[in-house]
Amino acid sequence: MALALALALALAMALAIAMALALALALAMDLALAMSMAWALAMAMALAMAMDLAMAMAINLYIKNMSGGHFNYNQSRILEIIEKLEILIAQNGKKKTNLNDDDRRSCKEYPEFAHEYEFHYSYPKEVIKEFKKGLEMLKKAYIYAQRIDWLVSCDDGEEQFLERLKEDLNNIKK
């Protein structure tokens, strides 16, 4: 209903502007030429306004269909930290699979330090244990941020929030 009203208003405005231009042209030129120019101008303006309206509606629909947004999707930064920490834990002390040119050169120039260039840094077991604790906390922080975001953005209701929160937290432990 609102779309039809906005479109009709846009068309009426375009037509009124075109008619005013046509009147000015008619006074200065041939009447038939002025009318055909006014018609073409009115159609072009109506099309442009309809396209602007359609684009605005599409953007609005896209924004409405996105979930969350209350925290500007910053919880994705927690995910990035989680991914990097998982890589650090997985690579701890392991041999690098592909050395870059600088590492290769350094191995040749400083053979006594080759181990440092050929292997990922090796953190002590106690440190890795704390990394893993932190990883679990970060995963929980991400889940809480995501679920709260969806709740306060009205994508989930309160019951759905509690259900999804419980389900997501249970999935961490698997």
Is 83 part of any domain? Answer: yes
84 and 144 in a single domain? The answer is yes
87 and 146 in a single domain? The answer is yes
Q: State how many domains the chain has.
A: 2
Q: What is the chain written as a DSSP string?
A: -HHHHHHHHHHHHHHHHHHHHHHHHHHHS-HHHHHHHHHHHHHHHHHHHHHHHHHHHHHHHHHHHS---TTTTTHHHHHHHHHHHHHHHHHTTPBPSS--HHHHHHHHH-GGGHHHHHB-----HHHHHHHHHHHHHHHHHHHHHHHHHHHHTTSS-HHHHHHHHHHHHHHHT-
pLDDT reported for residue 96:
83
pLDDT reported for residue 101:
78
87 and 19 in a single domain? The answer is no
Is 70 part of any domain? Answer: no
Per-residue pLDDT of the chain (174 residues; tens, 9 = 90+): 455 556 566 666 666 676 666 666 666 666 666 666 666 666 666 666 666 665 555 554 444 445 788 888 999 999 999 999 999 999 999 988 887 777 777 777 777 766 777 888 899 999 999 999 999 999 999 999 999 999 999 999 999 999 999 999 999 976
Is 38 part of any domain? Answer: yes
Residues 119, 91 contacting (CB under 8 angstroms): no
Between CA 116 and CA 113 the distance in angstroms is 5
pLDDT reported for residue 40:
66
pLDDT reported for residue 63:
45
Supply the range of the domain harboring residue 158. 75-172
pLDDT reported for residue 77:
95
57 and 101 in a single domain? The answer is no
pLDDT reported for residue 45:
63
Is 133 part of any domain? Answer: yes
43 and 13 in a single domain? The answer is yes
164 and 80 in a single domain? The answer is yes
pLDDT reported for residue 44:
63
CB atoms within 10 A of CB 66: 10
Is 101 part of any domain? Answer: yes
Tell whether the torsion through CA atoms of 84, 86, 92 and 96 is positive or negative.
Answer: negative
